[in-house]
Structure 1
Amino acid sequence: MNILDALEAQINILRSTILLQRRCASTSDDIKPRTSEVPHLSRQGMTVTPRQQEVIAQLSQGFSNRQIARRLGMSEATVKSHLYAAYRKLGVSSRSEAIIEVLKQEE
């Protein structure tokens, strides 16, 4: 990853954080997002599961796999498994692409 890719990823994380903060401004500060607050994600007829959506929501807030695991009460390996499955379903191959896909589907 070169410096421009890293900057683009950070910009995308900031954009998604701002969007999520606006969306959640009127909700409580629960650690776990409610499934109804997580965007419905799908591509090519494959739907991301509610748990995968929760993991992606945490990802889009800029949390590491370890932080996501702690926040959602699962192992880091389970987070990686959910992300891998969600990436396949969304047709992406990286964290930043997944965040961009979430932003596209929110529009």
Structure 2
Amino acid sequence: MTLRVVVADDQALVRTGFRMIIDARDDLEVVGEASDGREAVRLTRELRPDVVLMDVRMPVLDGIEATREIVARGSEARVLVLTTWDVDAHVVAALRAGASGFLLKDIRPAELVDAIRLTARGDALLAPSVTRRVLDRFLRTAPDLRPPPDLERLSGREREVLTLIGQALSNAEIARRLDLSEATVKNHVTGVLRKLGLRDRVQAVVAAYDHGLVRPRDP
């Protein structure tokens, strides 16, 4: 199966470079290019890609708001945010908007391809531990514009699992902490994501922070 990709960046040379890398793979195809966020939203709706590479800073509509619109419209496309900075407050805003991870624009071609494949499978590109470090550093400077999902939908056990996900624990570590099997933990994680309408584990970490289940650690 060929994975369909939309590249959104206001620099034509950047879009061309990513297209050349992606189209060189048999299982990947760039199906559209957008030069601003509004166009990215439109192309995602019309072309239904598997993954959108989204630049943060674009005219008309920036990448964060474009990501928010794509997610709000119920698109199944996964968004990978492109940035020139290692981590900054925009990354937190993008994660809160529903992005599945972020990439540096100077990423190596092989790493870019692997990131697209991983994200398209529904796996979070960022390890929860990386997400937690980003949130610890920038949470207070990137306020969320949406209310967090309602935790009343969760059982007591699911709430415990969400808290431990927010602490960057793996399923195996959660299983040991709660004296459960990994299969049971996996079912609880699936239930948390479904009940809260979260796209992946990265979004679960963000939700745990936004609800105060996990507090930012001191630098």
- TM bracket (short chain): 0.5 to 0.7
Is 2:212 aligned against 1:92?
no
* Structure 1 unmatched runs, 5+: 19-40
Is 2:112 aligned against 1:6?
no
Q: Which residue of 2 aligns with 1:38?
A: none
Q: Quick one: higher RCO (CA 8 Å, sep 6+), 1 or 2?
A: 1
Alignment equivalent of 1:63, drawn from 153, 169, 179: 169
- % identical equivalent positions: 30
What RMSD over aligned residues (CA atoms) do the two structures have, in Å? 3.2
3-state SS, counterpart of residue 96 of structure 1? helix
Over 3 Å counting, the alpha-carbon distance change for 1:10 and 1:90 in structure 2 is same
Aligned-pair CA distance for 1:50: 0.8
Distance 1:2 1:77 in 2: 26
Tell me the alpha carbon deviations over residues 10-41 of structure 1, each in whole angstroms, 9 at most, x when there is no partner: 443236679xxxxxxxxxxxxxxxxxxxxxx8
Q: Give the TM-score normalised by the residue count of structure 2.
A: 0.32
- Structure with higher Rg: it is 2
Aligned-pair CA distance for 1:42: 4.8
Distance 2:165 2:199 in 1: 14
TM alignment of 1:1-107, pairs within 5 A = 4=103, 5-6=125-126, 10-14=129-133, 42-43=149-150, 47-106=153-212
Q: Give the TM-score normalised by the residue count of structure 1.
A: 0.61
Larger fraction in strand: 2
Distance 2:192 2:132 in 1: 18
